[in-house]
Amino acid sequence: MQERMGNPALVLPAAMQALTALGKVPAEAGLSPKLLELVNLRASQINGCSVCIDGHPRIAKKLGETDERLFAVSAWRDTPYFSDAERAALALTEAVTRTSDRADPVPDDIWDEATRHYDGRSLAALVIAIANINVWNRLNIATRQIAGAWKP
């Protein structure tokens, strides 16, 4: 497969600046960089973004994440490797990413569980992180960016 064009965020530097700035907000708000990489990986798996599925585990490994947990992200419900807070974040990630899969994309039980683990500021940061990785996934998928070309 060949890419259709350069990544739109690279073609339009103002877009790259905006997305990069938005990407920094969740960590600046206090969310763990390791948690953010789990979120990035799970959304990217759902969306089928090969660039991000390839790149985000590399970032997570540099942050000290284990292979065991990275390999289990797609099966987080059935493995013992994640905390309740991480599970809440992963459930929210799936719901926000799969908005067309059900009439109520983010049901109260998923939202309420997230609020048990994250205060208003952290929850806002988490939703922004999920939205941001979904933007990157869509840019990469639409333009057929090549996995492995981005080496974080």
Whether the predicted model's global pTM rises above the 0.85 cut = yes
Kindly tell me the burial class for residue 81, based on how many C-beta atoms sit within 10 Å of its own C-beta (0-12, 13-18, 19 or more).
Answer: middle
The model's pLDDT over 97-146, given as tens digits with 9 standing for 90+, comes to 999 988 999 999 999 999 999 999 999 999 999 999 999 999 999 999 99
Does 86 fall in a domain? yes
Domain hosting residue 90, numbered range: 13-143
Does 45 fall in a domain? yes
**What is the CATH number for 56?**
1.20.1290.10
Long-range CB contacts for residues 108-117, cutoff 8 Å, separation at least 24: 113/87, 113/88, 114/88, 114/89, 116/84, 116/88, 117/84, 117/85, 117/88, 117/89
The model's pLDDT over 43-99, given as tens digits with 9 standing for 90+, comes to 999 999 999 999 999 999 999 999 999 999 999 999 999 999 999 999 999 999 999
